[in-house]
Amino acid sequence: MTDSVDGVNVLVSELANDAGMVELVEMFVNELPDKVAAIKKAMEDQDFEALRALAHQLKGSGGGYGFPAITKAAAEIEATTKADRDLRKLTAEVAELTSLCDRAKATSSMG
């Protein structure tokens, strides 16, 4: 689900209306900047094993917290690191995942 806030398409968790999950989803969203930083660092270092492991973790957790788009983007990175390790492709995939993570919100309420 996406909402637009200040012209930015916000990626809202599919669990935003599940009162029992909102706190857990917020914790997941709050950890995303650190996860993204680690992914970017692994990409810069061309540490494909670390990049694959980080993408694998995010692939599993993204969907569990209501972000199937994050799961899909992480799965693409994981597959590329296992296959051809095409740097141009990986750079684009990391940029896409970073964008999704930057826009992720636990709920559509911004207050």
Q: Give the three-state DSSP class for 13.
A: coil
Q: pLDDT tens for residues 29-78? A: 999 999 999 999 999 999 999 999 999 999 999 999 999 999 999 999 99
Asked if residue 82 is part of any domain, the answer here is: yes
Identify the domain containing residue 93 by its residue range.
9-105
> Which residue(s) pair with 8 in the sheet?
5
Asked if residue 65 is part of any domain, the answer here is: yes
Rounded distance between C-alpha atoms, residue 97 and residue 75, angstroms? 10
CATH number at residue 23: 1.20.120.160
Please report, for residues 10, 16, 72, the alpha-carbon distance to residue 6 in angstroms, rounded to integers and kept in the order given. 9, 20, 26
Asked if residue 48 is part of any domain, the answer here is: yes
| Number of independent structural domains in the chain | 1
Asked if residue 79 is part of any domain, the answer here is: yes
Cβ-in-10-Å burial (0-12, 13-18, 19+) of 45 comes to exposed
pLDDT for 6 equals: 53
